[in-house]
Every structure is written in structure tokens, then in C-alpha cells.
């Protein structure tokens, strides 16, 4: 596969932008090699600058559940753009999008729109702190919730639970406002609540953690978190930037059997345009300005073009048949790719979210259980899949996404290619 044009675009990008990218994972640092530059996309296919066609299993990291440039979404965006790109004033479609979101969250009455998931999470945390009058936030090690200061923290050593900044430029004082505990460890949670429960404003968790592999929680784990929050007066925030509208129309509460107090959204509700959202009960959300004293704002929040893309996407998803079809495709990919003689060619999957877990070990429930051998195998297969025309997310810690634009032939082709290349890799490993 020739990629000269991508390479020269990459050199130019590196001369004007840090690392040539505008979000770090795009640089391919986790897999080696040079990033592919995209010229256009439609359905489940990307076309790169050199004219190569690639079947996309990254799908812009989750928003494109209907595929690239879905005709309904493009039509809605074009019509909205023709009516003006931004008003900085109220328009009717904002309330329509909020209603469409709330239809998926029957317990909630309010939505505030932002321009990114990061902003939605920042807003939700501020709200939780204001509502409880407490200052600490508890997150899980390896969980990603956007790039705000308070959440770029990791667990410290030993029994210390105060976060350590995981990025330069995050003040220690800010990192110390976030407590970090390992996933899948109820005793650690109980201990931190016993020690500091009265200071904890909220617990933030992805109910289906999909940012460090796919770390499906064991039964009872989310219930235990809910109970601890209730016992100590802390709020429970489900960060559903990925999971929202991905597995069903709405949030995952009915699937996991636990109700959160607040939910953050992004990705799918913006249909591929920049959107984030905080959803929750009126008693909490109405504390935001202008009604309340919790400040939050955004020049482009509720942007008419983004809102149009979100509305068009949710209109298609409202027909629940989409989810059954995505489950069927996901199951097919998994079955076809794992029925090989390579025992480590395995996946952790929920519906259309698939994580390559290329290991003979049982799937991990926490970030520090992800084994190096699995990641090394992923790196090898990432390169060979790209050569064959499959665009996988360029990191072994990232999940793959299917969309309604993928069909049986697309997943069968990927499965077959994976099996062949895994077989060759296994033979090299044992040589």
C-alpha cells in the first residue's frame, strides 16, 4: 500500500503542530508507523490521501454509530448550515435535541449542552461539588474522562488515594482534589469512603469502562458503588460519553441495574459534530447559571449545525432495531475471529464495542491487569491489518466500534484477515 502523500502531509503537519496532531492518540505513537491522512469518508470506509480505501473500525472513536456521512445526517447538517453556522442566541432545535436525549433517560428532566465530552464532565463535577458542598471527586485508576486538570490524575503508590498528576502542568493542589482507586476493588472503595466519605462530592465512572480496554464490571460492582455513595451522601456520575446511545436508546442504567444521579454524554448525541451534554434531574441541573449559582457557558454550545447532526442521528436510533443488528454484527465478528487455532486471538465485547484482548489470560477487570504480550500482539496485527486495508484504532488500549454502515462482508473480511495474520504471528512467536 503506497502512502507517500500521507507521509508528506504528516511532515508538513509536524512542522506546524506539536507532533503533527490535534489529539495525541492520532499520532500512532502506541503502534509505531506513520499516521494515515484521510481525504474523505463514507459509510464504513475511509479514503486516504493516496487513494487507498480502508474499512474503518475506529469510527471517529465512537460518534459514528450510523457510519460516515450518513445521508440523513449530512442532509440535516447542510440544511442547518445554510440557515447560519452559529447564532450565539437561542434556537428551537436545542430543546428538540434535549427532548430526544431525555427520552432515553426517563428519570431526568434537564440537559445542558456543551461542545465536548471534556466540558460536559467539567460541568457535571462542578455541579456535584456545588450541590453537595464538598470538594473531592473519586475516580478509578485508568479511567479517562477528558482532559480537564482534575481528571488527569492517576493512583499514587501504596495506600495513598490522593491523585498524582498524570500530565505536567496540573497543579498538585488540583490533583489532590481527586481520589483515585483501582477498578474492581470494593475493599479499596470502602476504605476510601470510610476515611474521607464526608468530603466526597461524587464518584465518576464509565459504567461500561471503554477507555483502557473494555473492563466490563463484575456483577454487583456498580451496585456496591451506588450503595457507598448513598451511605455517604455522595453523588454518582455515570460518564456515558461512549456508552450513551451506543447499546440502547439512552443510557446503560437499565442494562447495569444502577441509576446514576448525573450523566455526561458526547460523541453519538452530536452525530459526529462537536457536542457534549450533562443530563440529570431538575433539582441538580437547575443549579446551573442563569437559574443557579454554578457557572457554565460556551460560545458554541447548542451550535445549530451540531444540534442538527445529533437530532438526525438520534432519530434513526429511536428505532431500536439498530441495536439488535449491531449486536448481531458484533457477535459475528467475535465468533468468526475466535474460531481459529490461535488461542490468544480473543476479544472482550459488548454489542458493537469490541476490544482486542490478544492474551491467553482471562480478560482483566482493571487497567493494571492489561498484559504487555497482548499489547505487543496488537501492535503487530495493527500494522498488518492496515496493509490489508483495515483501519483499527492505533492503540491496543482502545476499543473498536461497529456501525450500521458495516455489513456481514466487512466483519467477515476483518475476521478472516485477523485469523490468517494471527496464525502467522503465533508461528513466529513459537519459532
Contacts to ligand PMP by CB under 6 A:
61, 116-118, 121, 144-146, 206, 211, 239, 241-242, 266, 276
CA atoms lying within 13 Å on the CB side of residue 247? 19
**Euclidean distance between the first and final Cα of the chain, in Å?**
28
Nearest alpha carbon to residue 111 among 249, 258, 280: 280
Nearest alpha carbon to residue 304 among 82, 155, 145, 122: 82
As a whole number of angstroms, the distance between CA 334 and CA 123 comes to 37
Distances (CA, A) of 413 to 57, 389, 424: 12, 10, 17
- Residue whose CB is less far from ligand PMP, 256 or 419: 256
Residue with cell 437559574: 291
Does residue 56 carry a catalytic annotation?
no
Does residue 139 carry a catalytic annotation?
no
Angle (CA) 306-308-314 rounded to 5° is 105
Min dist CB 238 to ligand PMP, Å, is 10
Residue 358 near residue 377 (C-beta atoms within 8 A):
yes
CA dihedral 117, 119, 124, 130 (to 10 degrees): 170
Residue 252 near residue 259 (C-beta atoms within 8 A):
no
- Residue whose CB is less far from ligand PMP, 52 or 243: 243
Min dist CB 427 to ligand PMP, Å, is 36
Min dist CB 213 to ligand PMP, Å, is 13
Omega within 30 of 0 (cis) for the link into 174: no
Does residue 239 carry a catalytic annotation?
yes
Residue 311 near residue 97 (C-beta atoms within 8 A):
yes
- Residue whose CB is less far from ligand PMP, 98 or 151: 151
Among 139, 144, 221, 410, the active-site one is 144
List of residues 6+ apart from 249 with CB closer than 8 A: 103, 104, 314, 317, 318, 320, 323
Among 48, 56, 184, 239, the active-site one is 239
As a whole number of angstroms, the distance between CA 86 and CA 286 comes to 25
Among 56, 184, 267, 391, the active-site one is 267
Angle (CA) 232-238-240 rounded to 5° is 175
- Residue whose CB is less far from ligand PMP, 47 or 148: 148
Residue nearest to ligand PMP (CB): 117
Please, where are the H alpha helices in 117-197?
A: 117-132, 172-175, 186-196
Region for 19 from its dihedrals, namely left if φ exceeds 0, alpha if ψ lies in -120 to 50, beta otherwise: left
Active-site amino acid positions: 144, 239, 267
Amino acid at each position: 500500500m503506497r502512502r507517500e502523500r500521507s507521509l508528506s502531509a504528516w511532515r508538513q503537519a509536524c512542522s506546524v503542530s506539536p507532533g503533527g496532531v490535534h489529539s495525541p492518540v492520532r499520532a500512532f505513537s502506541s503502534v509505531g508507523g506513520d499516521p494515515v491522512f484521510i481525504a474523505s469518508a463514507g459509510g464504513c470506509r475511509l479514503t486516504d490521501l493516496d487513494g487507498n480505501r480502508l474499512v474503518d473500525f475506529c469510527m471517529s472513536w465512537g460518534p459514528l454509530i450510523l457510519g460516515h456521512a450518513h445521508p440523513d445526517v449530512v442532509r440535516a447538517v447542510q440544511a442547518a448550515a445554510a440557515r447560519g453556522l452559529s447564532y450565539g442566541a437561542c434556537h428551537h432545535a436545542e430543546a428538540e435535541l434535549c427532548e430526544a436525549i431525555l427520552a432515553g433517560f426517563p428519570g431526568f428532566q434537564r440537559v445542558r449542552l456543551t461542545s465536548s465530552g471534556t466540558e460536559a464532565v467539567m460541568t457535571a463535577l462542578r455541579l456535584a461539588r456545588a450541590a453537595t458542598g464538598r470538594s473531592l471527586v473519586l475516580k478509578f485508576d485508568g479511567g479517562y474522562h477528558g482532559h480537564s486538570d482534575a481528571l488527569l490524575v492517576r493512583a499514587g503508590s501504596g495506600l495513598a488515594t490522593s491523585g498524582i498528576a498524570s500530565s505536567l502542568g496540573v497543579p498538585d493542589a488540583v490533583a489532590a482534589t481527586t481520589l483515585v482507586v483501582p477498578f474492581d476493588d470494593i475493599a479499596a472503595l470502602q476504605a476510601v469512603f470510610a476515611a474521607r466519605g464526608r468530603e466526597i462530592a461524587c464518584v465518576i465512572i464509565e459504567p461500561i469502562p471503554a477507555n483502557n480496554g473494555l473492563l466490563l464490571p463484575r456483577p454487583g460492582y456498580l451496585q456496591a458503588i451506588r450503595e457507598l455513595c448513598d451511605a455517604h451522601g455522595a453523588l454518582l456520575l455515570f460518564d456515558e460519553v461512549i456508552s450513551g446511545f451506543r447499546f440502547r436508546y439512552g443510557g446503560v442504567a437499565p442494562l447495569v441495574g444502577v441509576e446514576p444521579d448525573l450523566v455526561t454524554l458526547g460523541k453519538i448525541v452530536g452525530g459526529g459534530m462537536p457536542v457534549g451534554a450533562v443530563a440529570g434531574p431538575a433539582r441538580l441541573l437547575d443549579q446551573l447559571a442563569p437559574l443557579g449559582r454554578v457557572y457554565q457557558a460556551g460560545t458554541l454550545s447548542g451550535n445549530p449545525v451540531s444540534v442538527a447532526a445529533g437530532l438526525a442521528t438520534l432519530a434513526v436510533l429511536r428505532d431500536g432495531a439498530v441495536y439488535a443488528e449491531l449486536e448481531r454484527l458484533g457477535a459475528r465478528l467475535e465468533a468468526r475471529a475466535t474460531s481459529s487455532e490461535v488461542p490468544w486471538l480473543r476479544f472482550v465485547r459488548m454489542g458493537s464495542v469490541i476490544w482486542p484482548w490478544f492474551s491467553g489470560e482471562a480478560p482483566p477487570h482493571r487497567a493494571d491487569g492489561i498484559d504487555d504480550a497482548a499489547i505487543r500482539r496488537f501492535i503487530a496485527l495493527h500494522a498488518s491489518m492496515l496493509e490489508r486495508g483495515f483501519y483499527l484504532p492505533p492503540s491496543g488500549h482502545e476499543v473498536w466500534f461497529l456501525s450500521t454502515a458495516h455489513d456481514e462482508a466487512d466483519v467477515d473480511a476483518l475476521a478472516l484477515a485477523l485469523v490468517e495474520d494471527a496464525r502467522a504471528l503465533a508461528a513466529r512467536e513459537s519459532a
